[in-house]
Structure 1
Amino acid sequence: MLARFRALRSDLAMVTTVGRDPFGVAFDAILSATEAILDGKRVLLLGTNNYLGLTFDQDCIDSAVAATMAQGTGTTGSRIANGTYGGHAALEQRLARFLGRRHAMVFTTGYQANLGTLSALAGRGDHLLLDADSHASIYDGAKLGNAQVTRFRHNDPDDLRRRLRLLADQPGEKLIVLEGIYSMLGDTAPLREMVEVKREAGAWLLVDEAHSLGVLGAHGRGLAEAEGVEADVDFVVGTFSKSLGAIGGFCAFDLDDFDSLRVAARAYMFTASLPPSIVASVFQAIEAMEAQPQLRDTLRRNGQHLHAGLAAAGFALGAMPSPIVSLPMPDRETAIRFWNQLLDAGVYTNLALGPATPGGKPLLRMSVSAALTPAQIETAIAALAQTGQRLGLVAAGLAAVES
């Protein structure tokens, strides 16, 4: 049965010949939002998507503990079968209010939010237009719904327009799917231009704000808020596992007949619902996100600090639109060596390899947190510069300046 994975096993074996298994790092302990213990040594966490640092927020922790004591550790079933707890309904109402939408629907993971929403909204005879760099959960949701999938070039409104025109005479609904911040490179969609294309074609628009919720916009609602086009976005999907520091996902929108999605979305209907502790901590995290806009300011400064430091050290970087900073690697072997040496130096990042990366090119991916101190960022810059110098990716003189 597993013979088909022989090539995959060979690839994994090659990755681990250089050092650690990047897909199996097991921390001894998590000390804070920014530090952990690995093999008895303190490690700086620079690859966790913990954008606002809320995983150790005391109010979130207290709310989770109180909910567990009052309602137990889990729901042991889906909401369709086992019923909706009061916290589930309250969280959906709170989330809808935060996003300025009439309705919100909570899923057990962000992956399932895309899986359930896309497969229910676009079925056989409909058309899904996906950015080529879309997350795996978007592609999997498209497969489950049996809609016709049309890919357009990454962040290319003209290519989207051309493909919609080719579909103009075909029956079925057309749903465009974009991401607020793309998870590998950290770039943002040209949302205003995409909205114009959507209007011209009379299509629908869904924006996955997984990595932009709590990061972009005056109130942290994401890219659509930052670009002033929230009214043109029909569906907002996102996750609780990034800025909100927990797990779970959601879909929010303004259309009537909302509850029909609860029985149409199989990823909602047949999955056990979130436990009371997670529901309570996410509710509190939304409160914290609204009450502490300074977290977004700190996050922005930290991202700029890391980006500027790496650019000064000689690394080739793109623009700084988000707290995701990725270093392109010349080849797979160099990427694996870089990741291992950096971890040995006490900095944990994400090793990103094809086919999960744009164009299949290897990357070293970092995600900044508002909880990082300037000193920690300087430590990371120095470690990255020194590792880059050893591997011949940056000039020795430039690396020495930063280190």
Structure 2
Amino acid sequence: MSLFTKFASLAAQYRQLEEAGANPFNVSFDSVLSPTEAVLKGQKVLLLGTNNYLGLTYDPAVIAKAVKATELYGTGTTGSRIANGSYAGHKELEQALAAYFNRKHGMVFSTGYQANLGMLSALAGKDDHLILDADSHASIYDGARLGYAQVTRFRHNSPEDLDNRLRRLKDVPGDKVIVVEGIYSMLGDTAPLKEFAAVKRSYPDTYLVVDEAHSMGVLGENGRGLAEAAGVEADVDFVVGTFSKSLGGVGGFCVSDAEGFDILRVVTRPYMFTASLPPGVIAATLEALHQLQTRPVLRRQLTENANRLYNGLAALGFTVGPEPSPVVSTVMPSPEAAFAFWARLLHGGLYTNVSLPPATPKGLALLRSSVSAAHTPAQIDHAIEMFAEAGREMGLIPAAGAKSQDEPVLAIAK
């Protein structure tokens, strides 16, 4: 018996994808040309699945800062900050993030995944309670598993169910830590954060963590995310996020006003035992944060592009998520249809993402797109045309000229 026998069913499915030429795990670009285009097997491909929301991966100023820092300080730190010390850029970035979010403290992690892994496992101890939205990202669930707190899930985007869960825990000892997201990465829906904040205020020893990974740089007058857009920043105790979306890099962070915040550097294992970010990444992220703050036109263009794609797909008759955002997902009737649709688009020159359960809510099979400020209106329209052609060929939407379905927007209970 092989060590990998336990994965036999998954291995069989993987082989089927390979044989069908529809394996999203095996895409290897020849080259990437820009935030919106790449070359795959000699064919130019339009990128519509990269989370590169502001298109800053090819920004000249961001690249220049990364190159200069690499030349001055080398390619890496070769260890954690506890073991090898901090470079000046690490503290500068933490201070810049704290200032941007109007917080006293900031802490940088090597990935966004580790930010959630580290913060959630440290904030709630064995006598405490983590209260998670049921549709939380895998990194949130894994952070809960790494720690020793008792975990309670509440119905996705339901303030009533959150209140019900907290009411049951009202007289139970221990702190309660609520965790929600700004924009959920599968369907692109936002949390009812104002209502969640009101529930949180009703219970003592209760804290609110908001993961703004997909909403930083997207929502709010200054791009600080859903908490800013909803006007409840004062009710959010900890903001967690990533550099790999709007900031176009890699890494994660947490900012807070919590007294004694720096003890987290000692008790957060993913921070203590992971090599710190290289100088080039730190410098690029600092510059990308500067671009985010000084170029609001990027956020406006992103919103226009997101609305254009969302409304265009809905008008064709596709079932899409409950609200427009840079994450635009279309519901497929089955995983097999999702893979076939994805492959058809890719072979035609359009790269998107396949998302399947258990990573998706309600067991949905999704064809997930993510929009960038760098996309032109013509590129968005071309993508819509490709969706239309594939959808009609597969019988997923009405033929050209036929009446589309009345309710193309996915109804998700909030």
Normalised TM-score (structure 2)? 0.95
2:398 matched residue in structure 1: 395
1:185 matched residue in structure 2: 187
SS at match of 2:119: helix
Gaps of 5+ in 1: none
Q: Would you say 1:59 and 2:42 are equivalent positions?
A: no
Alignment of 1:197-276 (within 5 A): 197-202=199-204, 203-276=206-279
Counterpart AA for 1:55: T
Counterpart AA for 2:169: L
Alignment of 1:301-320 (within 5 A): 301-320=304-323
Counterpart AA for 1:368: V
Q: 1:349 aligns with which of 349, 352, 359?
A: 352
Contact 1:96 1:104 in 2 (8 A): yes
**1:20 positional shift:** 3.2
Alignment of 1:81-96 (within 5 A): 81-96=83-98
- CA deviations 1:272-316 (Å, max 9, x no partner) are 000000000000001000010010000000001111111222212
Q: Are residues 399 and 370 of structure 1, via their aligned partners in 2, closer, same or farther at CA, if it must alter by over 3 Å?
A: farther
Q: Distance in 2 between matches of 1:399 and 1:252?
A: 51
- CA deviations 1:121-156 (Å, max 9, x no partner) are 011111000001000000000011111000011001
**1:7 positional shift:** 2.1
**1:11 positional shift:** 2.6
SS at match of 2:400: helix
User: Please, which moves more after superposition, 139-148 or 303-312?
Assistant: 303-312
Q: Distance in 1 between matches of 2:369 and 2:271?
A: 31
Alignment of 1:27-42 (within 5 A): 27-42=29-44
SS at match of 2:25: coil
SS at match of 1:43: strand
Pairs aligned (count): 401
Contact 1:184 1:358 in 2 (8 A): yes
**1:400 positional shift:** 11
Q: 2:198 aligns with which of 190, 196, 199?
A: 196
2:149 matched residue in structure 1: 147
Q: Distance in 2 between matches of 1:261 and 1:319?
A: 37
SS at match of 1:94: helix
Q: Distance in 1 between matches of 2:49 and 2:137?
A: 17
Q: 1:283 aligns with which of 254, 263, 286?
A: 286
Q: Distance in 2 between matches of 1:370 and 1:399?
A: 32
1:68 matched residue in structure 2: 70
Q: Distance in 2 between matches of 1:17 and 1:118?
A: 41
2:411 matched residue in structure 1: none
**1:398 positional shift:** 4.7
Counterpart AA for 2:192: P
SS at match of 1:218: coil
2:111 matched residue in structure 1: 109
**1:245 positional shift:** 0.1
Contact 1:305 1:377 in 2 (8 A): yes
Q: Distance in 1 between matches of 2:356 and 2:319?
A: 18
Contact 1:180 1:209 in 2 (8 A): yes
Gaps of 5+ in 2: 405-414
Q: Distance in 2 between matches of 1:156 and 1:273?
A: 37
2:302 matched residue in structure 1: 299
Q: 2:338 aligns with which of 317, 335, 344?
A: 335
Q: Distance in 2 between matches of 1:256 and 1:147?
A: 21
SS at match of 2:178: strand
Contact 1:313 1:399 in 2 (8 A): no
Counterpart AA for 1:150: T
**1:354 positional shift:** 1.3
Q: Are residues 398 and 112 of structure 1, via their aligned partners in 2, closer, same or farther at CA, if it must alter by over 3 Å?
A: farther
**1:318 positional shift:** 3.4
SS at match of 1:84: coil
Normalised TM-score (structure 1)? 0.98
Q: Distance in 1 between matches of 2:168 and 2:141?
A: 21
**1:23 positional shift:** 1.2
2:325 matched residue in structure 1: 322
User: Please, which moves more after superposition, 300-309 or 238-247?
Assistant: 300-309
Q: Distance in 1 between matches of 2:288 and 2:332?
A: 36
Contact 2:321 2:330 in 1 (8 A): no
- CA deviations 1:298-356 (Å, max 9, x no partner) are 00000011111112222122343411100001111111110000101110000111111
Q: Distance in 2 between matches of 1:399 and 1:183?
A: 32
RMSD: 1.3
Contact 1:35 1:44 in 2 (8 A): yes
Counterpart AA for 1:51: Y
**1:399 positional shift:** 8.2
